[in-house]
Structure 1
Amino acid sequence: MAYRYLAACTAALLAPVQLVADPLSAHILEQISVKGRQTDLLGLASSASEGVVGNSEIADRPLLRGGEILEFIPGMVVTQHSGSGKANQYFLRGFNLDHGTDFASYVDGMPVNMRSHGHGQGYTDLSFLIPELVSQIDYQKGAYHANSGDFSAAGVARFGIQNRTRNGAELTLGMDNYQRLLVKGNTKKGNANVLLAGELQQYDGPWTDIAEDVDKLNLLARYSRPLGSGQFALTFMVYDNSWNSADQIPQRAVSQGLIDAFGSLDTSVGGKSSRNSVSASWYSDAWQWNAYAIQTDLDLWSNFTYFLNDPLNGDQFEQADERWIYGGELSRHWHHQLGEFAVEHVVGAQLRYDDISEVGLYNTRQRQRLSTVRQDAVQQGSAALFSQSTMQLNSDWSAHLGLRYDYFSVDVNGDLAANSGDTTDGIASLKAGLSYQFAANWQAYFNAGQGFHSNDARGTTTQIDPQSGDNVAPVDLLVRSDGAELGLRFFDYTAFNISAALWYLNMDSELLYVGDAGTNEPGRASKRYGVEVAAYYWFNSNWSLDTELALTRSRFTGAVAGEGNYIDGALPLVLSMGLIYKADNPWQLSLRLRHLGKRTLDSFNQQRSNATTTVNAGYRYEWQRWQLALELLNIFDSNNSDIDYFYASRLPGEPAEGIEDRHTHPLESRTARVKLAYRF
């Protein structure tokens, strides 16, 4: 079936497209190569922990999986504890972000984070994104910008989509039956442009007991043109995927010889997912708007505890989520003079509505439903107003002040009347900053801001635990965070770019709705602080080196009997380094190291993971219209883990209460991939 889609996509790319040119429109921007690290942000950025990643930099880095594109954000870590089709696990600024709870992502103006999702709050699956079509990534860490709301306590990333691309086809083949075919191109008539692309990927992985059998399809169509005084774009995206999962496994199963390090205890887990969207945008110097409609489905089968809860059938469960999302944003931008001061204003409104027809949790065996834990339909809407003003106090000093108000309304219709109901809540956020450019190449920053994340709507109405039948207390819909940072930035276009930030962040509650159990997991307030440094050095036109370091301390605040104050999964150290050589002749060599420090796995810090270090390399050679690339991932075949957890599970014959053990998902072993591309 996948190859029929490929044939249709290829035919569409090669067929002529008839467009009507608008003689009153300006010319459309051609594709440009963006080098975001070499963008001078002095006087433009309002903090030291924001930046731009360009498409040329994305092309320079070997990626094991598409979600790793977020690792271009300094200090961000992307891992996986399950199958390749599932959203990645993210870590940033002392957060185990799970699948995205406190980091917001947007693609072409569309939110990626899923509210009240079947698997986890803020579920962020970037599998529908084709890295080669990203124009640039604008990122901001910290809640210091008024246009960022839900899920942005740790930061936000906004992915832009290219209006034009180079026509071409790419075939990548690799070990473990890795196959990827990308066809992309555009046609132009007058001032209008149509970009079409299709991606197919298949992959079995290095697992010994199952073939991951990833079968992914991505299609994209984008129409863009100048319209009036601005630029208009209309984008359609289609994503479909299915896979088997190699979930995390208990260490004792490996040490006892039941399975090897790449084995599985339940070979029937996996999932299928789809996402279809249409989005439209228009921007000019003064106005900007976007609107979108997104349809998503997910069926996910997992088994993390094996026979702990159900000794007869096992603990496999299914999480289902089916929804439509509608929304948009409108903003107005202008300048004026206030006495001696130049002032820049942005005001805007944002709307979002999630119509969730099914969000369910089911007990299963071999992917067949045995019973329903809970099944709900949820309607969740939000509206926000924001305003941010930047004042140039003099040639060296500038200040900004942001205000934001968010209003949420949720309606839960569950299979248990006691867990149904509706909730509303609102929250105001204040954000401010001051910057001082004290030399031609140096700028200092101070920022402070309030942020928040929404809790799962079901947690706000749940009064009875669907598993035990015990009474539980509903939770607040919105959770406040407060943060600040001191920053410093140096920029010299010819050689050096460095930024550093000393930051802290307080969170009112770490409480989560646990999709695996269908109920709330109590949490405490927390405090995090740390230091981040990102440095980029260009020795000459051939050699470049980048180094990104993040040191973090994360703790719960307030004592609780029987609990420590360490935050599970928090990363204290992240180091990333990359070296790139671009020869005067058309070839390039890149080498990249990523090191993760030991992670705490329990609140007393008695269980800690090992540190993880991986090294990847890439080689690329171009000749006329051809390109040959070789990627070698995990060069030294590290046997460290991708992620670790510590909890109780039960294997056949073990005590009814199970055994607490470390559960690990290993790094994928050393693998090689070869890509052949042709531009036409």
Structure 2
Amino acid sequence: MFIPTLVLWLLSASPEAPVIPPVLVEAPPPVMPADVPALTQAVRVVLRLTLDTGGEVSRVEVRESGGEAFDRAAMAAATHWRFEPARQGDAPLEVQVDVPVMFEPPALPEPAPVATAPEAPEAPEAPAPADAKAPGFSTTVRGRSVAPPPVAVGDFHITVGQLADVPRNSATDLLLLAPGVMLANHGGEGHAETVYLRGFDAGEGKDVELRLDGVPLNEVSHAHGHGYADTYFIIPELVKSLRVTEGPYDPSQGDFGVAGTVEYQLGLERRGITASASYGSFASRRLSLVWGPPESTDATFVGVLLRQGHGFGPNRAYANAGVMAQTELRLGPETRLRLFGASYGARYSTAGVVRETDVVDARMPCAPDAGSQFFCLYDPNQGGANQRHIASVEWVSRLERGGRFVQQAFAVSRQMRSRENFTGFLQDTPPIGEAQRGDNTEQSYQGTTVGLRGRYTPGLVWAGQPQPVELGYVARYDTVHTRARRLRDKGGAPYATVFDNQVRTTNLGAYLSLRGSPLSWLTLRGGVRVDTFLFAVEDLNRPDSDRQGSRIPEESVEAYGFFASPRATAEVRLSPRLTWLTSAGLGARSSDAAGLSDAEFAPYARVTSGETGLGWRWGDEAHGSTVEARGAVFATRVSQDLVFSETTGRNQPIGPSQRLGAFGSVRWQWEERLDVQASLAWARATQPLPGASSWRLWDGTVLPYIPQVLGRVDAAWRGTATVLRQDVGWSVALGHSAIGPRPLPLDRYSAPIFLFDVAARARWRAVELGLSVENLLDARWRESEFNYVSNFRGPDAPASLLATRHFSAGAPRTVRGTLTVYLDLQEDKP
């Protein structure tokens, strides 16, 4: 009896809860402008209102003008209207509504406006005729959530949606949905990706601020590099959207926001249980389980993810596991509480880099065929392990007149150990009579981060228009132990300490941002952010003697830093669909505490950036089709940049740098069937010549490793077919990356890269089968490429002083099959 009942339950489903449009509660009528001549016919103004989850009007835009005086009168009235919020089930939604407001001739009576809810959210009512006795309201639900207006052309609020069908290995790969992003990884499956963004080699986080629903992920004074941020632990199925702000233009952006800021926003729209199991090339196995209680909102979920595999070549095995859970509690109609926790552990091996000449000449310690040589390695004692644990509590209260108060407390515990060898036997100075012991470097990091973050929006109204003013703050304290040591080639025992520091850092920051529309076609945004840092470093690797005699091999250092960064944007609405935005701002990267001197006023890496471009959006509500396109040019200067050094295995300062670039992107969505996004970006990064004018952004020495041209296409197409009188849902997806030649040191360039990933799936009732192929054409590509001097021939071999290319191999063609079972309590579209 149990098995048939279980099968029926798995295959049964009920329709998804419908979206209930907002209902007007209170609507004071607009006041007839006093400075216009007597009306002889009705004047119609169409407003687009943004309604928050409390039914308050948080933004007013004119979609169809009736003249400046009538526009202002309608907007002034709209700020006082109140609605019952739109809902899906019991969950309130933030939506946009279109409201036509009619100004009638004086001869007609002017009763108070009334509201009529449409029968279907997608079909707005016809506007009231000119001789109607009362103006009518028509509401159209635009979507389940409404992103705030962008602070710049390069401020992207990216809903993943059906582009999740495109093959991706981790949540980090979702960054490719933003234009001008490239990812590379020389450290293995579990090591943080190197991010290239906006002409920056942002490393594993040094120039890009990364957050997870407000929780900071960048790690200060990390042994592998200041700002190291690993997002591999994030479960992709739980990522609802991303906000990628390219450039330092939002006052809420903080430390490390040099090239920009990325925030992962979590949510699980599908209610019920989704279990997925995958198996593919190189014995790769993946098991995920996500659950969203049917009676809760998408902010309540639990997810578990297990991954394991042999890797695509020797010494590339990996295993990791993670869990993420969140619950949202409604403490009243105006207040909600979110509790979030995550735990993750990983172990991985890596092949490191190999010399191009050794591969070409088949001198690698593997089989002599070209494929084995390409994926071979020198040092098997490379790899790493890491753990991460996160807890966060967020309190959100809605205040009167549309105000909000958000308070968040978070704690992060992190541990990491990695071993890498970039130069072989080159840097060691062995005792007399002994051979080189090897350059394998062990980097370890153990730290705890606790902090508070909050923002307050008072809900001010001026000149009849909501004036979004936001005050925010962040308080963060880190205590970390960071260390690097050299390991023997045989046995892996440490023989020398590179650095060993106990670091304590306090970051206190505050910002003020505001937005106003002095003219109906002009919106100004701006603000200022102030950050202070207090550093305390205990250097545990000092010499035990100096010129004055013996001493304790420890030393304390304290330093203080302060930085103020204004940011501003002007938005000009050239038409209802076309917008021109110009942005400028200052940003900063804090100092690596390991490089500070006692009582020093800590130097910052200061970034000055400007951008101007156009944004265009078109929507056909009748057919559910939308198109959004953006394009901009930008320029950036950095006072102190960092470039990867093979001798230390981390980034080292090189002085000032500059960038000049441009990007364009377009996304077309048609109902829930077709979703296509494409982007193209160009950037030139240079180190200016001494004494050169700051306006000559195209002059100077080209910085290495940063690709100048990046292209990306993501596309997913879904549909339904009838097979044996049964509805079968299907989808096909494509991901394509095109990466131009990357400059290398000594005026060398890498080869361009073209990668294609495809996927297909079919679903019948509760069961879905999928197949994905990454690197469809089985290209032999180099994920990371360098040019420097090394010696991998052995401890007794003489080192060559000639720089040569080194690379880490990219993955070959990878095929993976997936079985997914939806234990839903509601019907999902197949």
Taking structure 1 as the reference length, what is the TM-score of the superposition?
0.88
1:103 aligned to 2:229? Answer: no
Distance 1:287 1:632, change over 3 A: same
Cα distance 1:240–1:31, how it changes in 2: closer, same or farther (>3 A)? farther
Instruction: Give, in whole Å, the separation in 2 of the partners of 1:215 and 1:486.
Output: 45
Matches within 5 A, 1:413-492: 413-415=538-540, 416=542, 420-461=556-597, 476-492=602-618
Q: Hey, what's the Cα distance between the residues in 1 that align with 2:486 and 2:336?
A: 47
Q: Greater shift after overlay, 98-107 or 454-463? A: 454-463
Task: Indicate yes or no: 2:396 matched with 1:291.
Answer: no
Cα distance, 1:46–1:358 mapped onto 2, change above 3 Å: closer
Post-superposition Cα deviations, 1:533-583, rounded to whole Å, max 9, x if no partner, equal: 00123478644432100011111112499x971111111000012333222
> How far apart, in 1, do the equivalents of 2:478 and 2:309 lie?
32
Query: What SS does the corresponding residue of 1:100 show, helix, strand or coil?
Result: coil
Aligned match for 2:422, one of 294, 304, 310: 304
Amino acid at match of 1:277: I
1:38 and 1:592 map into 2 onto residues whose CA distance is 26
Q: 1:79 aligns with which of 178, 184, 187?
A: 184
Residues 74-473 of structure 1: matches in 2 within 5 Å?
74-162=179-267, 165-166=270-271, 167-187=273-293, 195-207=301-313, 209-210=314-315, 212-228=316-332, 229-259=334-364, 260-285=373-398, 286-310=404-428, 312-339=436-463, 342-365=466-489, 366-415=491-540, 416=542, 420-461=556-597
The share of aligned pairs that are identical, in percent, is 22
1:548 maps to what in 2? 679
- Contact in 1 for aligned 2:94/2:145 (Cα 8 Å): no
Give yes or no for contact 1:318–1:364 (8 Å, CA) kept in 2: no
Name the counterpart of 1:587.
730
Q: Distance in 2 between matches of 1:272 and 1:147?
A: 33
1:596 to 717, 739, 749: 739
SS in 2 for 1:67: helix
Question: Aligned partner of 2:613: which letter?
Answer: G
| 2:175 match: secondary structure | helix
**Separation (CA, whole Å) in 1 of partners of 2:502 and 2:518:** 51
Residue of structure 2 equivalent to 1:14: none
Partner secondary structure for residue 592 of structure 1: strand
Query: Per-residue displacement from partner, 1:40-70 (whole Å, max 9, x unpaired)?
Result: 9898223211122224245222113442122
The match for 1:506 is 637
Aligned to 2:596, the other structure's residue is in SS state helix
Aligned equivalent of 1:668: 811
Amino acid at match of 1:398: T
- Contact between 2:159 and 2:242, CA under 8 Å: does it hold in 1? yes
**Structure 1: which 5+ residue stretches go unaligned?**
1-25, 464-473
Moved more, 533-542 or 90-99: 533-542
The structure, 1 or 2, with the larger RCO (C-alpha pairs under 8 Å, 6+ apart) is 1
Q: Report SS of the residue matched to 2:720.
A: coil
Aligned residue type for 2:658: K
- For 2:656 and 2:590, locate their aligned partners in 1 and report how far apart those are by CA, in whole Å: 15
2:379 is paired with a residue whose SS is coil
Q: Is the 1:361–1:516 Cα contact (8 Å) retained in structure 2?
A: no
Structure 2 CA distance for partners of 1:520 and 1:631, relative to 1, 3 Å: closer
| 2:667 matched residue in structure 1 | 536
Aligned to 2:545: none
Structure 2 CA distance for aligned equivalents of residues 32 and 336 of structure 1 = 19
Q: Which one of 91, 97, 117 corresponds to residue 29 of structure 1?
A: 91
The 10-residue stretch of structure 1 (356-365 or 494-503) with the greater mean CA deviation from structure 2: 356-365
1:230 positional shift: 2.4
Aligned 8 A contact 2:422 2:649 in 1: no
Report the Cα offset of residue 252 of structure 1.
1.5
Q: Deviations over 1:292-327 (max 9, x none)?
A: 111000010111101112352211110000000111
| Deviation at residue 83 of structure 1 after TM alignment | 1.0
2:439 maps to a residue whose letter is D
The structural deviation recorded for 1:527 is: 1.1
Give the deviation of 1:338 after TM superposition.
3.4
Q: Which residue of 2 aligns with 1:20?
A: none
Q: Is the 8 A contact 1:455 1:513 kept in 2?
A: no
The answer as to whether partners of 2:684 and 2:702 remain within 8 angstroms in 1 is: no
Does the 8 Å CA contact 1:163/1:224 hold for their aligned counterparts? no
Cα distance between partner residues in 1 of 2:161 and 2:418: 35
Shift of 1:518: 9.0
* In structure 2, C-alpha distance between the alignment counterparts of 1:31 and 1:182, rounded to whole Å: 28
Measure, in 1, the Cα distance between the counterparts of 2:297 and 2:617. 37
Match of 1:266, SS? coil
Q: Partner amino acid for 1:271? A: G
The more displaced of 61-70 and 625-634 is 61-70
- 1:457-487 CA distances to partner (integer Å, 9 max, x unpaired)? 1011399xxxxxxxxxx89442110001002
Deviation at 1:335, TM superposition (A): 2.9
Supply the AA of the counterpart residue of 1:304.
Answer: F
Distance of aligned partners of 1:458 and 1:558 in 2 relative to their CA distance in 1, 3 Å threshold: same
CA distance, structure 1, for counterparts of residue 755 and residue 326 of structure 2: 37
Matches within 5 A, 1:617-636: 617-636=758-777
Go from structure 1 to structure 2 and tell me whether the alpha carbon gap of 1:198 and 1:384 turns closer, same or farther (over 3 Å shift): same
Aligned to 2:792: 651
Q: Supply the AA of the counterpart residue of 1:492.
A: W
Q: CA deviation at 1:590?
A: 1.1
SS in 1 for 2:499: strand
More displaced 10-residue stretch of structure 1: 286-295 or 330-339: 330-339
8 Å contact kept, 1:74–1:549: yes
For residue 186 of structure 1, report the CA deviation from its aligned partner: 3.6
Alignment match of 2:156 (pick from 48, 51, 69): 51
Greater Rg over alpha carbons, structure: 2
Shift of 1:601: 0.8
Deviation, structure 1 residue 113: 1.0
Q: State the match for 1:558 in structure 2.
A: 689
SS in 2 for 1:148: coil
Q: Provide the rounded CA distance (Å) in 2 between the counterparts of 1:348 and 1:136.
A: 22
Counterpart CA distance in 2 for 1:513 and 1:595 is 23
The residue type paired with residue 216 of structure 1 is: N
Q: Matches of 2:689 and 2:467 in 1, distance apart?
A: 43
**Aligned partners of 2:689 and 2:700 also within 8 Å:** no
RMSD: 2.9
For 1:444 and 1:42, the matched residues in 2 are separated by 18
Residue in 1 aligned with 2:174? 69
Cα pair distance change 1:637/1:30, threshold 3 Å: farther
Instruction: Give the structure 1 partner of residue 115 of structure 2.
Output: none
Whether contact under 8 Å (2:422, 2:646) holds in the other structure is: no
Name the SS of the counterpart of 2:161 in structure 1.
Answer: helix
Q: 1:524 aligns with which of 641, 655, 659?
A: 655
TM-superposed deviation, 1:498: 0.3
